[in-house]
Structure formats: structure tokens, C-alpha cells
Structure 1
């Protein structure tokens, strides 16, 4: 067994990435403190061809060397937009036809492994989904939760029952990318 070379990985150019069909998912970062977490979400969004990233509130924005340190150039490929508040971002996304889901442990949350695209799309059969990742300490703001179509919870068995936002984003965005590939074509 051998590792693949960079040439064998068939990496897209920036222009090829921009022209590619995207996963109809937007990651919303609700007052994230860590630049490293922000950069990591950008890198994950690039890996799964996520449509965009919304940076909200005091979430750090590119360009910054500490974001770049973990993003490794993904801020140049992934479309991103800034909103002064997550509530504003949610209103804009809803107006644009997105179903809105918080990644949060809450009453009535749906386990990530129990989701399908039809559940995410909701009664309106929306084709685009926004997932909100909350602050490292306080999670998704209560005012934002009230605007969501629901909450998705990552099942956990250990003592802590919490994950770093960059880890949570990796898990959730991977699962949503799989759902799109497996289920999106069956949504009518």
C-alpha cells in the first residue's frame, strides 16, 4: 500500500471548485470565538463542497493568519458572508428558501443518525438546508433556536456529551453530504 501523490488526488483548481455543483447546505457559525475553529469549518466545507458559510456576530472573519492556519486556503474557495447577528442570517436564509436546523442538544432534537433529507426539507419540501453551529461555551443562542425548524443532535455515549465545534461540523457536514448523495434525488 502507498499514499497517493498530490497529482493522483485530482484536486480541483479554485475555478473548478467555484464552478462545481455544491452540496445544498450552508454552515452558520453563531458567535464562534476561536479562529482555529472557524478555519477548520472552512476546510471541512471545502472538503464536502458545502454551498457557503455564514459568519455571525463576533465570529472572526478572513483574512486572518490564525484562520488561514487551519483553513489552508479554503477561505479562497468556499463562499462566505458575514451577518452582524445570527438572527439576521436566519431571516435572510429563510427568505432564500432554506430549512433551518440548529446543531444542539434540545427538547425534541432529532438524532443525526435518524435523519433523512425529507425530514430536513420539511413540509415545504425545501431543497436547501442551513445548519447552525453555536458558541463553544453557550451553544446556539436561545433567540436563534426559536427561529429554527428543528434541532439535530449528535448521539454521544461518553461522559462529556459535548464536542468541539470543528469536530461537530465535520461530523454533521459529512452526514449531510451523504444524505444529499443518497436521498436528495428521491425528494420530489
Structure 2
């Protein structure tokens, strides 16, 4: 399966059929080589099989996980998954409802490990077994400013739903809570945007920027 075609300004992105001698490297997909690769992937992975892309990403994934409570089928979850893929999170954990809105993921969920937990207690148990600090992200009183703290290297970044934020159970379960400094009139910012800001803060603290593609 070649996957959906991505379009920019009415023109397909990606590359057409392979030109020249056909490579024999098993990472390459014969169908993509013959028909072109219009997937939303970086140039390094053009014509690669999906399984080969995931295997290569698995050799470089970062030490942070992302979790989001799924109580209202929030459309932001797809955006969180897409951003987690961009920053190479180890795993995305969906807490609550198993089904989630994939539209915003733009098929990046094919390359991102995703796990389901029925409740916060299950996520916390997993984090404890893996030696991960659960970091809640919410602008509640007593939260530490994201701009002034260093996130733990081995952690789960936990986000709530758009509007209400983290549930009471989640607030009680986290190791630390951080908030994003805001200066306008709105009480909260979009959950997908917040996730991107916090993930990038982890990248600034811990990632090898020379490894960026």
C-alpha cells in the first residue's frame, strides 16, 4: 500500500517513480519504486517500506513518552500524535476511550507507537514499572513554570482535554505539574499547541540536535 497522496498548492508532494537501476536494498518498497512515493515522510525515507521506517525510528527514539486523556473524543489527539512523531517520542498513550480522532494525525500514527490505558491508574502503573516520572501539564495553582524548570529525561508528559484540562484523578497522580506562561485573555491554549510547546521544551533540555533530520 503506497498510502495517501499529500498535496501542496494543488500539486502532489513527494517523488515520482524511481529513475535508473532499481535498488535491491530490502528497505525499499517495490510498489513505491514503481509508482512514486507521495507520503508525508522526510526525504531520507522516500521509497522505504513502512516497517523499515519504523525500525529505523526505533533506533533513535527519545526517552520521553506522551499521554493524553481521551474522554470527549477530542480532535486535538491527532495533532498530539503528529507532533509526537515529529519530536520522536517513544510512545503515545491514549488514556480513557480506546477510539480516538485520527484526522489530525495525518497518517503519522503509522510510524508512531501508540498504547491504550483504560484509566490513569493503569498509566501510572506503567510509568512506575518503566522508571518514568509522570509530568502533568495544566495551568492550575501551584504548577511549576515550564520556562523555569528542566523536565525529567525519562518521563511521561500527560495532557488533559481541551478546556477542562487534566481530570482530578490525573492531577493527584502526577509527580510534578508544569504550566505554560500565558499573557492574554484566554484561560487555556489549544491542547495540541500546548503539547508541541512542552515536547519542544524536552527537546531543548535533552535531545542531540545534531541528530535532527
Structure 1 residue aligned with 2:9: none
Structure 1 residue aligned with 2:168: 142
- Offset of residue 179 of structure 1: 1.4
Alignment partner of 2:124 out of 90, 93, 113: 90
Structure 2 residue aligned with 1:37: 76
Checking the alignment, whether the CA contact within 8 Å between 1:41 and 1:71 is kept in structure 2 is yes
Aligned residue for 2:124, secondary structure, equals helix
- 1:123-145: CA deviations, max 9, x gaps? xxxx4110110022321111221
**Where does structure 1 differ by over 2 angstroms across 4 or more consecutive aligned residues?**
9-20, 31-36, 58-61
**Structure that is richer in helix per residue:** 1
* Gap regions ≥5 residues in structure 2: 1-12, 16-41, 209-213
Checking the alignment, whether the CA contact within 8 Å between 2:74 and 2:162 is kept in structure 1 is no
Superposed counterparts of 1:97-108, under 5 Å: 97-108=131-142
Report the RMSD for the aligned CA atoms in angstroms.
2.3
2-structure distance, mates of 1:169, 1:47:
12
**CA 1:18 to 1:171, structure 2 compared with 1: closer, same or farther past 3 Å?**
farther
1-structure distance, mates of 2:87, 2:116:
21
Structure 2 residue aligned with 1:76: 110
Structure 1 residue aligned with 2:22: none
Aligned residue for 1:138, secondary structure, equals coil
**CA 1:174 to 1:35, structure 2 compared with 1: closer, same or farther past 3 Å?**
same
How many matched pairs? Answer: 166
Larger Rg over CA atoms: 2
2-structure distance, mates of 1:106, 1:137:
12
- Offset of residue 47 of structure 1: 0.6
Structure 2 residue aligned with 1:51: 90
1-structure distance, mates of 2:55, 2:104:
20
Does structure 1 residue 19 correspond to structure 2 residue 53? no
- Offset of residue 37 of structure 1: 1.1
* Gap regions ≥5 residues in structure 1: 122-126, 183-188
Aligned residue for 1:160, secondary structure, equals coil
